Amino acid sequence: MNKGSKLYEGKAKIIYETKDKNLVIQHFKDDATAFNNLKKANVEGKGVLNNRISEFIYTNLSQCGIKTHLIRRLNMREQLIRKAEIFPIEFIVRNIATGSLTKRLGISEGTILENPLLEYCYKKDELNDPLISKEHIYSFGWATKNELEIIDKTSLRINDLLTGMFRAVGIKLVDFKIEYGKAWNKDTEKSEIVLADEISPDTCRLWDAKTEKKLDKDRFRKDLGNIVQAYQEVAKRLGIMPEETNISEVNFGKTIPIKFKKK
Ligand code: 5GP
């Protein structure tokens, strides 16, 4: 699949067009950002690992009936995906209280939530992705009631499937962020809601089940070091590693700070 011109560049990924108007290429970069771009670094090897981990997760979810944008992984950094009109909402699912939830509501760190908690944030960097309610979503036409019902149900199902997948390899799925879009289905000739973006240690909180060691982007956010080693640990436990690479020969794990401004 030939790569056309760049359609969009985000913090961690680039989207390129292809000759097919319904398909695009998603390229995973090594850039890591946190605190709305205030902290930035280049984490060598992160893009390769996220591409592979996200492909593995989307393939498994798809086998369980979840509609996703993934067609196939093309190479170490790229996936062929369905072009989707992304809802301007980050959908967050939480199983254990941490991060912004504990800060916002004073809930004790590590509290196990009786039921998974769904939250919505408006995808707007300039506003720091603020928390919103269903009423905001309906008022501003960001999704319809019917669309949100489908998305909520799908998000809870994804949480069940991923919780089981990670528990089987000794990892607690603490919380995660997902995105959805509307993509064209050429068989039904209708657009349908699909899971978009990525699911990787960049977008989830993953704790070792025994030690609660963080195996996710919090290693970068909190300056805990060994970011790539933690992502590799997740890939290893899931039984996947970038097969085209002899990982021991690649200088994974080097973190090159780009810029760090205090808030
Ligand atoms: P929190 O709201 O506690 O900061 O994040 C909740 C979960 O959503 C965490 O797993 C976090 O990684 C993910 N998340 C929230 N916002 C973003 C975002 O803008 N980018 C990424 N990569 N993950 C996010």
For every one of its 263 residues, what pLDDT tens digit does the chain have, with 9 covering 90 and above? 789 999 999 999 999 999 999 999 999 999 999 998 899 999 999 999 999 999 999 999 999 999 999 999 999 999 999 999 999 999 999 999 999 999 999 999 999 999 999 999 999 999 999 999 999 999 999 999 999 999 999 999 999 999 999 999 999 999 999 999 999 999 999 999 999 999 999 999 999 999 999 999 999 999 999 999 999 999 999 999 744 454 443 445 555 555 444 43
6-84+226-258, superfamily in CATH? Phosphorylase Kinase; domain 1 (3.30.200.20)
End-to-end Cα separation, the chain, in angstroms: 42
Q: Which residue's CA lies nearest to atom 7 of ligand 1? A: 176
Ranges for all domains in the chain classified under CATH 3.30.200.20: 6-84+226-258
Could you tell me if the CB of 31 is within 6 A of ligand 1?
no
Could you tell me if the CB of 203 is within 6 A of ligand 1?
yes
Assigned token pair, 9: 């560049």
- Ligand 1, residue 205: give the atom nearest the CA: 10
CA–CA separation, 53 vs 234, rounded Å?
A: 8
pTM here is: 0.93
How much distance in Å is there from the Cα of 177 to the middle of ligand 1? 6
> H or E segment at 148?
helix 145-167
Closest CA relative to residue 182, chosen from 157, 146, 158: 146
CA–CA separation, 86 vs 17, rounded Å?
A: 16
Could you tell me if the CB of 214 is within 6 A of ligand 1?
no
- Ligand 1, residue 101: give the atom nearest the CA: 3
Q: Is the dihedral of CA 153, 154, 155, 160 positive or negative?
A: positive
Ranges for all domains in the chain classified under CATH 3.30.470.20: 88-208
Q: Is the dihedral of CA 178, 84, 16, 63 positive or negative?
A: positive
Q: Alpha helices, DSSP H only, in 168-239?
A: 218-221, 227-237
Could you tell me if the CB of 197 is within 6 A of ligand 1?
no
Largest CA distance in the chain: 53
Q: Which residue's CA lies nearest to atom 14 of ligand 1? A: 177
Could you tell me if the CB of 217 is within 6 A of ligand 1?
yes
CA–CA separation, 48 vs 203, rounded Å?
A: 15
The CA-atom distances, in angstroms, between 103 and each of 98, 99, 108 are 8, 7, 9
- CATH class of domain segment(s) 88-208: alpha beta
